[in-house]
Amino acid sequence: MEGKLNILHIILGSGVVVKGVLGVLIFASLYSWAIILRKRSELSRYSSMNDHFINFYRNNVNLNDIFLHSKEMDYSPFQSIFIRGYEEFVKIREGLGKSGGKEMLQDHFSIYGLNSIERALKRAVNEASERIDSSLSTLASIGSIGPFIGLFGTVWGIIDAFVGLSEGITSLDAVAPGIAEALVATAIGLATAIPAVFFYNYFNHQSVKLVSQTESYAQEFLNMLERLISRPNK
């Protein structure tokens, strides 16, 4: 119908600067949606693999069997914590030599404590946290700067409209394209930013929860190891 605005027509008819702004916003929007879809799948997979690992872990008493099974699993934060902690424990045990029985392990940890294992677990937690939080800063950046990029396009489109007025063109038809492209830049800037901000907050909440669970499991593993070492021989 005549009189109806065609967004695509406005975009194609806009100036070079506004086209550049709209191109940047459209690219940022597509990129943010790619991050959103990947992050949603990634966090869901981590949670699922954590459940799988913890079920196996709590139903088995042989740490070496758990270690071998975890090596065959897909990555999960809990699996990473266990592998790093157990490998550090094995290094200590092997460092005591072949004659290093449980008594020597107990003597070693009574003197030096579990500091080396705690450090290994802390590194694993930090690495898991970085992996869980990956790309969230990009999503936050898109959400925060998207409206400002759109605002730049808006200002430029309004400048074009006022230039037309300054040249003595008083017809609304003459200035309408500049105003229209300015409003389109605003709309696309908001359409880019709103989903990015929403999903950043959503994923950030999920990330904090997952990192907290990972830290709790690291403490659970450390407590289990301490009980195992201090258990008297039968």
Tokens for 143, please give them: 């959400």
In this predicted structure, the answer to whether residue 47 has a pLDDT above a threshold of 60 is yes
CA distances from 66 to 54, 118, 204 (A): 10, 19, 31
Separation of alpha carbons 157 and 170, rounded Å: 17
Residues 6+ apart with CB under 8 A from 25: 146, 149, 150, 153, 185, 188, 189, 192
Q: Are 214 and 147 contacting, i.e. CB atoms less than 8 angstroms apart? A: no
- pLDDT per position as a tens digit, 170-199: 555 556 666 777 788 888 899 999 999 999
Nearest by Cα to 150 from 197, 188, 195, 196:
188
Amino acid symbol at 112: Y
The residue ranges of every structural domain in the chain are 7-230
- pLDDT per position as a tens digit, 126-176: 999 999 999 999 999 999 999 999 888 888 877 777 766 665 555 555 566
- Burial of 128 per CB tally in 10 Å (0-12, 13-18, 19+): buried
Nearest by Cα to 50 from 72, 81, 87:
81
